């Protein structure tokens, strides 16, 4: 999406609307307030907007006042007795900001899920169990329930599984499925973070490394 492209719009009226902060999960949300001071009949109140997949960047979980500037409040809401100057804190990379939050050191950190070591059990051919490892090469972990879909060259989707545990950066988990179809002289591959229509739910460092190379399954020896 181009920077100037508008993806969504909502009308509202307030003298101070649209603050970005984290509600409770350290991921950014937008807290939006409206009122009827101008005489327009709008839906006055407070709304919290966020990404349904929780893919927005990390940020501080506090925004305590209209003139918020990071150094005026701690992350637990505590007010410093002697406030550090925003324009020179921290020394190596000062915030030098006003009404803008901080994303911290992991501002653009993301997971990078890569499938590897796809293998098939040949003992019960043409019925076979397929297993693949899912590694997280990124710098941000993912929760359980990441979908892994298995494909066959002529049959399309032949099975799907999900990860059972969180995969932190540098960790891996094996996912196994037993397709309901017979695999006879088949060519099979796996795709991680795939809903069966080649669509993923996660924003990753790299999206092009989510599938394995095909492997032959249940070949008849010559």
Q: What is the pLDDT of residues 102-147, one digit of tens each?
A: 876 555 678 999 999 999 998 889 999 999 999 999 988 888 999 9
Give the residue from 107, 141, 166 where a domain finishes: 107
Residue 4 lies in a domain: no
> Are residues 123 and 32 located together in one domain of the fold?
no
Containing 48, the helix (H) or strand (E) segment is: strand 45-49
How far apart, in whole angstroms, are the C-alpha atoms of residue 59 and residue 217? Answer: 47
How far apart, in whole angstroms, are the C-alpha atoms of residue 53 and residue 182? Answer: 35
> Are residues 59 and 132 located together in one domain of the fold?
no
Q: Which of 29-38, 41-50, 87-96 has the highest mean pLDDT?
A: 87-96
> Are residues 39 and 17 located together in one domain of the fold?
yes
CATH number of the domain that 207 lies in?
2.60.40.10
What pLDDT was estimated at residue 1?
A: 47
Is the model more confident about 34 or about 125?
125
- Residue 6 pLDDT greater than 90, yes or no: no
> Are residues 20 and 71 located together in one domain of the fold?
yes
> Are residues 200 and 143 located together in one domain of the fold?
yes
Cis amide leading into 4 (omega within 30): no
> Are residues 146 and 198 located together in one domain of the fold?
yes
The total number of structural domains in the chain stands at 2
> Are residues 117 and 176 located together in one domain of the fold?
yes
Residue 222 lies in a domain: no
Beta-bridge mates of residue 47: 32
Residue 151 lies in a domain: yes
pLDDT tens track for 139-172? 888 889 999 999 999 999 999 999 999 999 899 9
Residue 5 lies in a domain: no
> Are residues 103 and 46 located together in one domain of the fold?
yes
pLDDT tens track for 58-77? 778 788 888 999 999 998 88
How far apart, in whole angstroms, are the C-alpha atoms of residue 11 and residue 212? Answer: 46
């Amino acid at each position: 999406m181009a920077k100037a492209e508008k993806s969504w719009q909502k009308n509202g009226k307030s003298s101070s609307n649209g603050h970005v902060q984290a509600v409770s999960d350290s991921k950014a949300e937008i807290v939006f307030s409206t009122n009827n001071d101008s005489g327009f009949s709008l839906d006055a109140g407070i709304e919290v907007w966020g990404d349904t997949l929780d893919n927005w960047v990390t940020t501080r979980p506090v925004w305590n006042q209209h003139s918020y500037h990071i150094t005026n409040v701690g992350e637990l809401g505590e007010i410093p007795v002697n406030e550090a100057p925003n324009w020179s804190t921290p020394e190596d990379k000062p915030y030098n900001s006003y009404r803008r939050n901080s994303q911290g050191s992991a501002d653009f950190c993301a997971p990078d899920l890569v499938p590897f070591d796809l293998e098939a059990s040949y003992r019960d051919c043409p019925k076979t169990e397929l297993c693949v490892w899912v590694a997280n090469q990124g710098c941000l972990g993912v929760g359980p329930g990441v979908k892994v879909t298995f494909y066959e060259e002529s049959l399309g989707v032949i099975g799907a599984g999900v990860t059972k545990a969180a995969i932190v950066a540098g960790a891996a988990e094996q996912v196994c499925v037993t397709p309901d179809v017979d695999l006879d002289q088949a060519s099979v591959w796996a795709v991680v973070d795939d809903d069966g229509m080649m669509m993923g739910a996660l924003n990753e460092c790299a999206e092009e490394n989510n599938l394995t190379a095909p492997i032959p399954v249940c070949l008849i020896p010559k």
